[in-house]
Every structure is written in C-alpha cells, then in structure tokens.
Structure 1
Amino acid sequence: MTDFDQFEDEDDTPKSKTQIKREMEALQEIGKKLLQLSKSQQKKVPMSDTLRDALNEADRIKQHEATRRHLQYIGKVMRSEDHQAIEQRLALFDTTSAAYNKLFHQLELKRDALIGENSKEELANYLDEHPEVEDIQTLRNLIRQSQKEVSQQGKTTNRKKLFRFLRETEEKRLGLAE
C-alpha cells in the first residue's frame, strides 16, 4: 500500500494529486499549530508517541530548511493520527476560534444563571450535569458572594472567581486540565 492509497474516496475514484497535496499541506499546518503550543498544552492533545517524539525533535532543529523538512515529516506522521480530534483540541486552545468562544459564552451564561433568580434549581441542574464537582461548598459560597456583588452593583471579584471555578471544572471534564 502506498501513501496515496489511504487518501482514496470510498467510491474508489482516486483523488487528484492536487487534492492529495492540499490535504498533506493541511496536515503540516496542524503540525505547525502543534509546535506553537506550550509543552503543557501539547500533553493535553491526543496523539501517538511517534508524533509526540517528532514534536520534541522539532524543538532541537534550528535551520530553516531542516525545519521545513521536519514539518513535512510531521505531516506524514499526522496521516496516521486522528487529526479531527487534534484539530478540535487545538480549537479550544485558540482564543480566536469559534469553539473557544462558544465554550466561553456557555460558561458565562451558566455563571449568570447560577447567580440569577432560580439559582437553587440551576445549581441542582449543574450538579446533575457535572457529578465530578467535588467542592460543592466552595461553589455555593461563590454563588452566594456573587449574588451579593450583583445586588450591591460593586466589585466583580467573586463573579470572576465563580467563572474560573466553572472553567476549571469544564477543563477537567474535557481533559484540558493539568
């Protein structure tokens, strides 16, 4: 089996060389994005040991041409990876991506709902959806203090702490936490 065989469609019509080249360049771009992540972020991305070793090796390479060739190698290794899962995880690290913004807005809405009028019902729903929450007392205290802040129209410290608590819980659930 050649490298090009795995890029054929299900209907047995082979892809053009241009399409194969575009796909390989797209995989190299994913590899570039992986290289731009910090080591702790790279650990959170699902990948094989071969790809992880290739990314570690890229840190050692300094010459431009050698870096270009190594990116081609990373693109080749990426062919056997689940690149959709890698792209989804990369999107959660990219603050300009739609996935990151969607997650951020969902957390803001959840925080506002927990502070709002039906906070006891929202808290019960939240705990049903997130059984992994261990520190329920801290969550309740943050909600109570945030409600006081809203009524006093003052500082936003506790609301930020509540948001951070919700974000950390979501990151643990998604496997993004360290």
Structure 2
Amino acid sequence: MARKNQKAPWEPEEEIIWVSKTEMKRDMEELQKLGEELVALKPNVLEKFPLSEELYDAIKDAQRFKNEARRRQLQYIGKLMRHQDAEPLQQALDKVRNKHSQATAVLHKLEQLRDRVVEEGDTAIADVLELYPHADRQRLRQLARQAVKEKKAGKPAKAYREIFQIIKELNDEEY
C-alpha cells in the first residue's frame, strides 16, 4: 500500500522557483528603462526594431508627450514589454549603440593616419597608398608640406583638415 504523501514514480517533480517582490520590481524597472531608451530613439531607427504594433504606437505616443503624461506612458510601455521578449529589443539597441562607437573608432583611426601623414611625410603617405591604392600621392605630399608650413606660421590648419577629408573619402569609397 502506497503512502498518501508519496508521489508516484512516473510523475515528474516540478521545481517551483520563488521570485521575490523586490526582484519582480527590479525586472519591471529594467524593462521601463529599456522602454525609455526606445522612446529616445529617432523614428527611422525605431522602425528597424522588432516591436509589436501596440508597443510601437505606445512609443510613438510617448515621444509626443511631456511631463506627467510621458511618465505614465513610460509605465505603460514597461507593462507592455512584460508580455514581450525583451532580449531581441536589447540586442537591437546594443547594435545601434555599437554602430555609433564603431564609427567613432574609425574616425579616430583616420585622424591618427592624418597626423602621421603630416608628421612623417612620405613614409606615412606610402602606408596610405597601401591601404587605398587609388589615392593621389602628389596631392597628399603637397597638402602635407602645406600643413607643416601652416603649423609653423600659426595659420589656420586648412591643409590639415583637407588631408583628413581626402582620407575619409578614400575610406568611404572602400566600404
């Protein structure tokens, strides 16, 4: 005879996971912060996100609202996000942020290359030609000499900026 409080061997044991009220509030606040970041995005960037129609409309409304109405709308967006998987939204947001930082890193790299062209001259220009074979060597040498003269004379760095623009255009053509 089997005991009453024993489970039958074929019934799987369910593991109950208890979530504290504080943890639930923390999760809701994170979703609301994610919603705030989505509201801060421009409409053309927002269209690329995997949003439900209801959530998209709520975000568009929040972008129009001010003060208290905006606060309430952000809470509503957080509520809507509880019923939607937030992981794809977070990944898309990270991608948007990363794209900006990648563009900044590329610009820093191009600035360093420009500085090398002005300081080192022909050796750095050879490196530029290695990276961008269709670059105009003569124009770069001329601008590098002109940038050095401008720097010594204390004049505005017109040639210095022009070298950057040429390198940037070469880089944009490449990609």
**Within 5 Å, which residues of 2 pair with 1:32-47?**
32-43=36-47, 45-47=48-50
Shift of 1:35: 1.8
User: 2:146: which partner in 1?
Assistant: 152
Taking structure 1 as reference, are residues 63 and 108 closer, same or farther at Cα in structure 2, changes over 3 Å only?
closer
Aligned-pair identity (%): 24
Taking structure 1 as reference, are residues 156 and 22 closer, same or farther at Cα in structure 2, changes over 3 Å only?
same
Q: Deviations over 1:42-77 (max 9, x none)?
A: 33x42324232221122444461x432321221233
CA distance in 1, matches of 2:18, 2:138: 62
- Kept in 2, the 8 Å contact 1:149–1:158? The answer is yes
- Pair 1:107-2:107 in alignment: yes
> Paired residues, what number?
137
User: 2:91: which partner in 1?
Assistant: 85
Correspondence for 2:73 among 61, 64, 70: 70
**Within 5 Å, which residues of 2 pair with 1:53-68?**
53-62=57-66, 64=68, 66-68=69-71
Correspondence for 1:118 among 93, 106, 127: 127
SS at match of 1:108: helix
Shift of 1:88: 0.8
CA distance in 2, matches of 1:22, 1:157: 51
Taking structure 1 as reference, are residues 110 and 42 closer, same or farther at Cα in structure 2, changes over 3 Å only?
same
TM-score, normalisation: structure 2 = 0.55
Q: Which has the larger radius of gyration?
A: 2
TM-score, normalisation: structure 1 = 0.54
Shift of 1:161: 5.7
- Kept in 1, the 8 Å contact 2:143–2:163? The answer is yes
Matching residue's letter, 1:68: R
Which sections of structure 1, spanning at least 5 residues, go unmatched? 1-10, 93-98, 125-136, 171-178
User: 1:130: which partner in 2?
Assistant: none
CA distance in 1, matches of 2:21, 2:146: 65
- Kept in 2, the 8 Å contact 1:107–1:166? The answer is no
Matching residue's letter, 2:146: Q
User: Cα RMSD between the aligned structures?
Assistant: 3.8
CA distance in 2, matches of 1:28, 1:20: 12
Matching residue's letter, 1:52: Y
CA distance in 2, matches of 1:76, 1:167: 43
1 or 2 for the larger relative contact order (CA 8 Å, sep ≥6)? 1
- Kept in 1, the 8 Å contact 2:49–2:89? The answer is no
